[in-house]
Amino acid sequence: MIKTMRIGDQKSYDRVISIEDVRLFGELTWDMNDAHFNAEYAATTIFKKPIVHGMLIGSLFSKIFGMEYPGVGTIYCSQSLKFLKPVYPDTLLHVVVTVKEIVLEKNRVIFATEVFNDKDECLLTGEAMLMPRKEEVHE
């Protein structure tokens, strides 16, 4: 699998996170922070309205890595995240991963991970290290 990958390879998709998605994520993680659910409280913050959980946005890369590229059998080794701008429910998000480095001898691939809004503003940036599934050896 890793031998078919090239630096600069890129995969992406678009996604809108609904208020219902935020509610479900909050219930799943037990993070019901007022910053995500209480409009009155959020109005007193720098965000002015409820925001999407940062880790929900950070988890959007899993769809690509686990199902598309490298795909099924990939192991997620690490992920760094830097939150640059708030994400509000019902915002169109463009999720992008780009191959930065391939470490063939260790079967590791380093990706740039980014999320943009519909104004092409980067909302989140980071880096992921993955272990693609190994190719089957046929004798």
- CATH, residue 91: 3.10.129.10
What pLDDT was estimated at residue 131?
96
Does residue 73 fall inside a structural domain? yes
What pLDDT was estimated at residue 134?
83
Does residue 92 fall inside a structural domain? yes
Percent of the chain's residues with pLDDT above 90:
92
Domain membership of residue 90 as a residue range = 7-17+52-131
Q: Is 10 helix (H, G, I), strand (E, B) or coil?
A: strand
Does residue 117 fall inside a structural domain? yes
Burial class, 137, CB count within 10 angstroms (exposed 0-12 / middle 13-18 / buried 19+) = exposed
pLDDT single digits (tens) 45-69:
999 999 999 999 999 999 999 999 9
Instruction: Indicate the Cα dihedral angle 30, 32, 33, 39, nearest 10°.
Output: 170
In the predicted model, what is the mean pLDDT of the chain?
Answer: 95
Token pair for residue 23? 């509610």
Does residue 78 fall inside a structural domain? yes
pLDDT single digits (tens) 21-45:
999 999 999 999 999 999 999 999 9
What pLDDT was estimated at residue 16?
98
What pLDDT was estimated at residue 1?
80
Does residue 42 fall inside a structural domain? no
What's the domain count of the chain? 1
pTM as predicted: 0.90
Residue 136 confidence (pLDDT) above 70: no
Does residue 65 fall inside a structural domain? yes
Say how far residue 72 (Cα) sits from the centre of its chain: 17
What pLDDT was estimated at residue 104?
93
